[in-house]
Chain A
Amino acid sequence: MVNLTIDGKQITVPKNATIYEAARDNGIHIPVLCYAKKLLPYGACRICLVEVEQMKGRLIPSCTTPVTEGMVVTTTSEEIVKVRKTVLEFLLVNHVIDCPVCDKGGECDLQDLTYEYEVVTNRFEGEKFDLPTDEVNPLIERNMNRCVLCGKCVRVCDEVVGYGSYSFINRGFETKIATAFDRGLHCEFCGQCVSMCPVGALLPRPFKFKARPWQLNEVDTVCGYCGNGCTVTLGILDKKVETIRFNDKIGVNDGNLCIRGRFGYSYVNSDDRLTKPLVRKGNQLVETEWDEALQVVADGLKKAQDGKGAGILSGARLTNEEMFLLKNLAKTLGTGNLDHSGGECYKGVTEGLLETLGVQASTGTFPQIENTDVVLAIRNDFYDTHPVVGMVINQAVRRNNAQLLVVSGKGGKLSKLPRAKTLLSGPGLELDVLNGLCQVLLEEGLAKTDGLEGLVALKQSLAEFTADKVATKTGVDADALREAARQLAGAGNAAIMLAYGLPYTPLSKELAVAAANLSLLTGIAGREGSGIYLCGEKANSQGAIDLGLLPAADGLGAQAMLDAAAGGKLDALYVVGEDPVASFPDRDKVEKALEQVPFLVVQDLFLSSTAAKANVVLPAASFAEKDGTFTNAERRIQRVRAGVPSPGEAKTDGEIIAALDAQLGGSLAFTGPEAIFAEIGKDVPAYAVNYTEIGPQGVVWGGEILQPVARKLGEAVAAPMVEGAYRLVTGSALHHSGTTSTHAKGPLAVVPEPFVEMSRADAATLGVKEGDLVKVAGNGVELKLKAKVDLRMPQGVLFAPYHFKESGVNRMFKTESVISVTISK
Chain B
Amino acid sequence: MTDYTQVLFKNRRPGETASLETYEKTGGYEGLRIALQKTPGEICAQVKYSGLRGRGGAGFPTGVKWSFFPADQPGEKYLVCNGDEMEPGTYKDRQLLLADPHQLIEGMVIAAYALQAPVGYIFLRYAYEDCSQVIERAIAEAEAAGYLGKDILGSGFSCELHLHRSAGRYILGEETALINGLEGRRPNPRSKPPFPAQRGLFGRPTNVNNIETLANVPHIMRNGNAWYQQLSAPESSPGTKLFGLSGHFNRTECFELPLGVTLREVVQEYGGGLRNGKRFKACLPGGASSPYMTAEHLDVAMDFNALEEIGSRLGTAGVTAFDEDTCMVAVTRNINRFFARESCGWCTPCRDGLQTISWLLDKIENGQGTEDDLTMLHDQVRNINGRSFCALAEGAMGPVEALLRLFEDEIKEHIRKGKCPFG
Contact = CB atoms under 8 A, between A and B. Distances in A.
A418 to B, nearest CB: 10
Nearest to A33: B348
Given A42-B191, A46-B387, A173 B342 contact: no
A320 B11 CA distance: 84
Contacts of A121: none
A87 B343 contact: no
Contact of A87 (B186, B341, B348, B359): B348
Contacts of A175: 343-346, 351
B383 interface: yes
A46 B383 CA distance: 11
Interface string A159-179: 000000001101111110000
B407 interface: no
A40 B191 CA distance: 9
B268 interface: no
A395 to B, nearest CB: 14
B386 A44 contact: no
B356 interface: yes
A91 B386 contact: no
Interface in B95-134: none
Contacts of B387: 46, 49, 58-59, 83
A46 B347 contact: yes
A90 B340 CA distance: 14
B349 A87 contact: yes
A90 B348 contact: yes
B356 to A, nearest CB: 5
Contacts of B188: 168
Contact of A44 (B186, B354, B389): B389
Interface string A74-91: 000000001100110011
Interface in B321-349: 340-349
Interface string B135-166: 00000000000000000000000000000000
Given A42-B191, A59-B387, A66-B193, A172 B345 contact: yes
A90 B349 CA distance: 7
A461 interface: no
Nearest to A40: B191
B345 A90 contact: no
Contacts of A174: 345
Contacts of A91: 348, 352
Most chain A beta-carbon neighbours within 10 Å: one of B171, B203, B341, B345: B345
Interface in A51-73: 57-59, 61, 64, 66
A46 B349 contact: yes
Contact of B355 (A44, A151, A173): A173
A119 to B, nearest CB: 13
Contacts of B342: 171-172
B388 interface: yes
A66 B345 CA distance: 24
Nearest to A398: B203
Nearest to B394: A58
A45 B354 CA distance: 15
A87 B193 CA distance: 23
B75 to A, nearest CB: 11
A66 B351 CA distance: 25
Contacts, number: 96
B169 interface: yes
A171 B354 CA distance: 12
Interface residues of A, number: 38
A64 B195 CA distance: 13
Most chain A beta-carbon neighbours within 10 Å: one of B343, B347, B376: B347
B395 interface: no
B418 interface: no
A44 B347 contact: yes
A307 interface: no
A40 B203 CA distance: 14
B353 interface: yes
A44 B348 contact: yes
Interface string A388-402: 000000000000010
A93 B186 contact: no
Contacts of A170: 345
Interface in B281-324: none
A43 B191 contact: yes
A124 interface: yes
A128 to B, nearest CB: 13
Contacts of A771: none
B386 A172 contact: no
Interface string B353-393: 11110010000000000000000100000010011110000
A45 B389 CA distance: 9
B346 A44 contact: yes
Contacts of A173: 340, 343, 345, 351-352, 354-355
Nearest to B342: A171
Contact of A90 (B171, B186, B203, B352): B352
Contacts of B353: 86, 90
Contacts of A82: 383
B88 to A, nearest CB: 15
B306 to A, nearest CB: 21
A168 B386 CA distance: 24
B338 to A, nearest CB: 10
Contact of A126 (B171, B341, B343, B359): B359
Nearest to B194: A41
Interface in A15-46: 40-46
Nearest to B193: A66
A172 B351 contact: yes
Given A43-B191, A46-B389, A167-B186, A172 B355 contact: yes
A739 to B, nearest CB: 41
A236 interface: no
Interface in B41-69: none
Contacts of B346: 44, 149, 151, 168, 175
A170 B346 CA distance: 11
A123 interface: yes
Contacts of B386: 57-59
B203 A401 contact: yes
Contact of A83 (B186, B345, B383): B383
A171 B343 contact: yes
A149 B345 contact: yes
A240 B356 CA distance: 47
Contacts of B389: 43-44, 46, 61
A172 B355 CA distance: 8
Contacts of B344: 168, 171, 175
Nearest to B354: A172
Nearest to A150: B348
A168 B171 CA distance: 14
A87 B354 CA distance: 12
B336 to A, nearest CB: 11
Contacts of A168: 186, 188, 344-346
B202 to A, nearest CB: 10
A6 B383 CA distance: 23
A86 B383 contact: yes
A714 B343 CA distance: 62
B347 A123 contact: no
A82 to B, nearest CB: 8
A46 B388 contact: yes
Given A57-B386, A66-B193, A45 B352 contact: no
- Nearest first, the 7 A-B pairs at minimum CB distance are A175-B345, A90-B352, A58-B386, A173-B355, A172-B343, A86-B383, A44-B347
7 contacts: A87-B349, A149-B345, A168-B346, A170-B345, A171-B341, A172-B355, A175-B346
Interface of A: 40-47, 49, 57-59, 61, 64, 66, 82-83, 86-87, 90-91, 93-94, 123-126, 149, 151, 167-168, 170-175, 401
Interface of B: 169, 171, 186, 188, 191, 193, 203, 340-349, 351-356, 359, 376, 383, 386-389
Given A59-B387, A172-B345, A173-B354, 9 more contacts: A44-B346, A45-B348, A46-B389, A47-B348, A90-B351, A168-B346, A170-B345, A172-B355, A175-B346
